[in-house]
Structure 1
Amino acid sequence: MRFFFKTDYNQDINLFRDSVDRFWYGLLLLALLGAPFVLEDFWLGEISYVLILSIVGIGLMLLTGYTGQVSLGHAAFLGIGAYTHAVLLGLGVPFVVSVFAATVLSALIGAIIGFPALRLTGIYLAIATLAFAFIIEQILIRWESVTGGFKGFPVERPEIFGYSITDDRFFYYLCFGALVLAVLAALNLLRSPTGRAFIAIRDSEIAAQSMGVNLAAYKTLAFAVSAGFTGFGGTLFAHKIGYLAPDAFNILLSIQLLLMVVVGGLGSIHGAIFGAIFVGSLPQLIAILRDYLPEQVARQPGLEPGLFGIILVFFILFEPLGIYGRWLKIKLYFSLFPLYKKATFKRQKTYTKSERFR
């Protein structure tokens, strides 16, 4: 059993808890850096997709997991980032400038959407963001002179530092570097006064307001930051799929993104990454599962969305803390074994946040 004692107030805001955490995260970093030398191109492509989903998941986690604002419209921000980046590349804008512009535009639109939604909470906020997703989808369809309408258009394939973005190994390192940057940015934001204000709003808006937190300003900022992270992930997502069309950013994708943070574990950066691994690998597992299912079941077109919905319901009912919450329980179990108490690992009653105060 390993005990951790805090002897300094700065330990509460350190990126790593102790030297043991630094060792394991360093080992994970080395493993990910060496992955392209031992894995085939197919698996590199799948891992790159998971890395992109992790960036998007971090953005949604900052809004939903840390600020308590539910969104069903993040596929729209992903589409805004992807289309803006692709259009600017087509106009000859350099890659780095295009990524920055797409991220900023996504953040600005997020702030614009977040401001009128300040008085909405819970299911009403989810409906408002869902309506925004439908509006963006229609804009992508109707604005044919820019987006190409239903036909869409291919994404430019620029060279960066002499390397083509179509090279699987280079694209993997690009996505990995972007994820590291996103994680560091999110962690530094969360340990700042702004991040603590987000968490205070999530826990109790009335208590946060009584302590001097400006609810309107911080909720709008949370939408802007979340949309910026999502738009940043959208720039890489555009190169991953290679061809942009409006049906790539539909309501099903928004539900998958929300499923990602709920299943991964709300209120944790680890949860966003665990959820991305789950959502990114589930389609491949379903494809393998089809070979063992009866033919009538395997041919059903709604098999994947149905499984997503069933899994979400089961996690909400039986593991509301998500995959990361279960991982923490497993670590605690082995650290206390054999002196653990069964009640420690027994599922406790959990209640949703009350909305009776207006």
Structure 2
Amino acid sequence: MRFIFKTDYRQDIALAKHPGHVFWYGLLALLLLAAPWWLAEYWLAQLTFVLIYAIAGLGLMLLAGFTGLFSLGHAAFLGVGAYTHAALVAAGWPFLLSLACAAAMSGAVGVVVGLPALRVKGIYLGMATLAFGFIVEEILARWESVTGGNAGLHVKAPQIMGWSLAGAEAFYFLCLVITVLATLGMLNLLRAPTGRAFVAIRDSEISAQSMGIHLARYKTLSFALSAALAGVAGALYAHKLQFISPDQFNILQSIDLLLMIVIGGLGSVHGVFLGALFLIAMPQAIALGKDLLPAAIGQAPGLQAAVYGLVLIAFVLFEPMGLYGRWLKVRTWLQLFPFYRQGMFKRQKSFQKSDRLK
């Protein structure tokens, strides 16, 4: 078991807590950089989708996992970013400038959506964001002169300074660079006073306000940053599919994003990537397992939705901390073996906020 002796305050905010982190993250970086040479084209495309969903998941994790504001219409921000970027690229704008404008447009829409968060929370906030998702989907379908309506819109291959990124390998590296930058930005934000304010609001709004945290400002900022990351993910998503339509950004997409961070582990950056892997790998596993099931079950149209529902119920009941929480328990068990004690990971009783005052 590793014991870390801290002799400097900077160790508390260091990204790498010990040399083991440097080794494993370095090895992961090497594997990701070498992925185009050891993965088939199909699996490289799936890994690219993992990176794109991870960017969107980082935004939703910032909102739900670190600020405590749940959104049931987050796919609408992906749609705003995707259509803004596609329209600007079609007009001849440079790729990076279009990507920045897509993030800015989604962030601006996030500010507008974040305004109800100042008055409502919980299920009422979920209903407000759900209604926003339906409104955006309807606008994308009706504004045919810009979005192409239900017929959809074709997206050009990305180009940076005359260099075409139409190939699968080049686009994968583009997504990898943006994902790394977004992850580092998220980690540094959480170490900053702004990120600590988000966490304080999540834990207790009354306590955060008593410490001088401006609730309205930070809630709106959280929505804006979350929407901006979703806009970037939407732009990359549009380029990867090379075709977008309003039905790709519906309520089911929003539920998939929420499912991703819940199963990955709320309140954890690692959980975003584990959840993205789950979201991409689960349909592949279901497709491979259909042949092993009876025909009445394997060919059922609602098999994937049923499996998703059962998995989510299992995590809520038995592992609310998600995949990353389970990994932390396994790691602790291995570190303490054979000196672990029985019941070490037994779930503790949780109290409501009102119970803390009794």
Q: TM-score, normalised by structure 2?
A: 0.96
CA distance in 1, matches of 2:214, 2:32: 41
The structural deviation recorded for 1:239 is: 1.1
Equivalent-residue separation in structure 2 for 1:353 and 1:43 (angstroms): 45
- Residue aligning to 1:297: 297
Check if 1:170 corresponds to 2:165: no
Shift of 1:343: 2.2
One-letter amino acid of the structure 2 residue matched with residue 217 of structure 1: R
Q: Which amino acid aligns with 2:185?
A: A
| Identity over aligned pairs, percent | 56
State the shift of 1:9 in Å: 1.5
Deviation of residue 356 (structure 1)? Answer: 11
Letter in 2 for 1:125: L
Retained in 2: the 8 A contact 1:163–1:170? no
Aligned residue in 1 for 2:20: 20
- Give the corresponding residue for 1:34: 34
Structure 2 unaligned regions, length at least 5: none
Q: Per-residue CA shift, 1:49-83, capped at 9, x if unaligned?
A: 00101111100000000000011111000111111
Once the two structures are TM-superposed, the CA of residue 300 in structure 1 deviates from its matched residue by: 2.3
Shift in CA distance, 93/355, structure 1 to aligned 2, threshold 3 Å: farther
* Per-residue deviation, 1:352: 6.2
Asked whether the equivalents of residues 159 and 165 of structure 2 are also in contact (C-alpha less than 8 Å), the reply is yes
1:11 deviation in Å?
1.4
Displacement of 1:297 after TM fit?
2.0
Change (3 A) 1:54 1:353: farther
Counterpart amino acid of residue 341 in structure 1:
R
Local SS of the residue matching 1:32:
helix
Task: Name the residue aligned to 2:277.
Answer: 277
Q: Do the aligned partners of residues 76 and 354 (structure 1) sit closer, same or farther apart at CA in structure 2, a change above 3 Å counting?
A: farther
Shift of 1:106: 0.4
CA contact (8 A) 1:59 1:226 kept: yes
Which string of whole-angstrom CA distances, capped at 9 and with x for unpartnered residues, describes residues 61-118 of structure 1? 0000000001111100011111111111111111010000000110111011101221
| Structure 2 counterpart SS, 1:72 | coil
Aligned to 1:44: 44
Q: Is the 8 A contact 2:274 2:324 kept in 1?
A: yes
2:329 maps to 1:329? yes
Amino acid at match of 2:72: L
CA contact (8 A) 2:266 2:322 kept: yes
- State how far apart, in whole Å, the 1-side matches of 2:69 and 2:82 are: 24
Q: Which deviates further from its counterpart, 39-48 or 308-317?
A: 308-317
Give the drift of 1:162. Answer: 5.0
Does residue 346 (structure 1) correspond to residue 346 (structure 2)? The answer is yes
Q: CA deviation at 1:296?
A: 2.3
Aligned partner of 1:308: which letter? Y
Give, as a single letter, the amino acid of the residue that structure 2 aligns with 1:90. A
* Residues 1:355 and 1:223: Cα distance change in structure 2 (over 3 Å): farther
Query: Shift in Å at residue 294 of structure 1?
Result: 2.0
Is residue 117 from structure 1 mapped to residue 117 from structure 2 by the alignment?
yes
Q: CA deviation at 1:355?
A: 11
Match of 1:208 in 2: 208
1:149 is matched with 149
Which residue pairs with 2:103 in the alignment?
103
Amino acid at match of 2:316: I
User: Which SS does the other structure have where 1:92 is aligned?
Assistant: coil
The alpha carbon displacement at 1:249 in A equals 0.7
Q: What residue in structure 1 maps to residue 222 of structure 2? A: 222
Once residues 30 and 153 of structure 1 are traced to their aligned partners in structure 2, the CA distance between those partners, rounded to angstroms, is 36
Asked whether 1:69 is paired with 2:37, we answer: no
Which whole-Å CA distance do the structure 2 matches of 1:159 and 1:354 have between them?
55
- 1:56–1:229: 8 Å Cα contact kept in structure 2? yes
Q: How does 1:247-286 map to 2 (within 5 A)?
A: 247-286=247-286
Q: Give the alignment's Cα RMSD to 1 decimal.
A: 1.6
Please name the residue that 1:188 is paired with: 188
After superposition, what is the alpha-carbon deviation per residue over 1:186-238, rounded to whole angstroms, capped at 9, x for unaligned? 01111000000000000000100000000010000000000011111111110
Count of residue pairs brought into register by the alignment:
357
What residue identity is the alignment partner of 1:312?
Answer: L
Amino acid paired to 2:279: V
Q: 1:354 to 1:106 in 2, by over 3 A?
A: farther
Alpha-carbon contact 2:157-2:166 (below 8 Å) kept: yes
